[in-house]
Amino acid sequence: MEFRKHSNQRTNVQQIFQKIVDYGPISRRQLQTLTGFSWGLISQVTNRLIAEGYLAAEEEQPSAGVGRRAEKLDVVADNRFYIGVDIDSSGMFAVVTDMKGRLVEKQRHLWPEKVRDQVLQKIYAVLDRLMEKYADKNITGLGVSVQGVTDVAKGVSAYITRIKNWVDVPLQQLLSSRYDVDVVVAHDPDCLMESELAFGLLKNTDTKDVLLMHYNYSTPSLGMSVMIDGQIYFGHRGRAAEIGYMIVGENADGTPRMLDADLVDSNIDTAQLCGSIARAMAMANTLFNPEMIVLHMPQCPYAQQLTEEVEHWIRTASYDASVCVKISKLGQSAKARGAAMIMINRAIDEML
């Protein structure tokens, strides 16, 4: 499907580029050792990256002063900048990164009014200023992380709860037309997964099967990303892993009760809420059998309690309880930063 091309799948090209980001300056032989790829593939990819201006090659003088000079490769970080934006029901984060994904600037803005037109105008105002401020830095792409149901194939935000009239907003079309740059729209938990791969718990690991749960305490909302064999699983229409729609009971009128309902039910105390979320995670653990579960819960006052509840239900109610449960150390801007990284990876992947 077309939207898979806009994902953060870990292609060979991306893996080579990421190793240079992590370990550069680095030689081609060292790259071959780290990746296990053939010399021919390493040479093909790095030569093209150099030709396109993504990498620079420098000769290193041997320590003895004699012999052949080793060529070291590193990313040219400051000739292309990227913008990442995270949009949810309360406001937006906007970040600017260099080619290595390092933060150049980050901003947080709340919506003046939670109405579609006012929200769009605020997004435009923030991006207008950033585009003008970094005009000399060649803003190459814009990644957008969106809360709620998202059609990533078409770049459309289907809806965000608590924003009036926010229905089927064609963000990719609106932003690419306004700023004349490549735009990718992604679901916010998938952007978090990209941040964990690039900067967090999954960086420089061989872990390939992961569930990532994002709990936004302030909104409140719940999301999940699934990585299988190193690639995010999207499902048939790009709407997989909507954990908030998991059925956790039955309402008084006989209709299914979704997990999302527990998040906003004032009659449910913290212990009950943690139990509902934990049981859902235990079911997801049994369904996907991951190696690791990452819990991203920034500013949640009962994060430890929720983690312990998840571990308890996995031990007592999962078919395989061997999974490792970890708390993410990434902050609130991680989704915006992950969106920028998806855009960087897409640029690198589509270059060859």
pLDDT tens digits, one per residue of 15-25: 898 899 889 89
What is the distance between the alpha carbons of residues 87 and 119, in angstroms, rounded to a whole number?
A: 10
Q: Is the separation of the CB atoms in 156 and 6 below 8 Å?
A: no
* Predicted pLDDT at 68: 59
What is the distance between the alpha carbons of residues 10 and 307, in angstroms, rounded to a whole number?
A: 29
- Summarised one tens digit per residue, pLDDT across range 193-204 is 999 999 999 998
Kindly write down the DSSP assignment for every residue of 208-247, as one continuous string: --EEEEEEETTTTEEEEEEEETTEE---TTS-TT-GGG-E
- Summarised one tens digit per residue, pLDDT across range 140-162 is 999 999 998 888 889 999 989 89
Calculate the average pLDDT of the chain.
Answer: 90
For the chain, helix (H) and strand (E) counts, in that order, are 10, 17
- Write down the CATH number for the domain with range 81-191+333-351: 3.30.420.40
* Predicted pLDDT at 186: 93
* Predicted pLDDT at 8: 42
- Summarised one tens digit per residue, pLDDT across range 248-300 is 888 889 999 999 999 988 889 999 999 999 999 999 999 999 999 999 999 89
For domain 201-327, which architecture applies? Answer: 2-Layer Sandwich (3.30)
User: What pTM, to 2 d.p., does this model score?
Assistant: 0.88
Residue with tokens 């390092």: 102
- Summarised one tens digit per residue, pLDDT across range 324-338 is 999 999 998 999 999
* Secondary structure of residue 280 in the 3-state scheme: helix
67 pLDDT tier (thresholds 50, 70, 90): low
Q: CA-CA distances (angstroms) from residue 110 to 124, 232, 290? A: 14, 30, 36
Least confident of 113-117, 149-153, 312-316: 149-153
> Domain coordinates of the chain in residue numbers?
2-75, 81-191+333-351, 201-327
List all residues 6 or more positions away from 56 whose beta carbon is below 8 Å from its beta carbon: 50, 73, 74, 75, 76
* Residue 66, pLDDT above cutoff 60: no
* Residue 10, pLDDT above cutoff 90: no
- Segment 89-94 mean pLDDT: 95
Within this chain, domains 81-191+333-351 and 201-327 share the same CATH topology: yes
- Segment 82-106 mean pLDDT: 95
* Residue 2, pLDDT above cutoff 50: no
- Write down the CATH number for the domain with range 2-75: 1.10.10.10
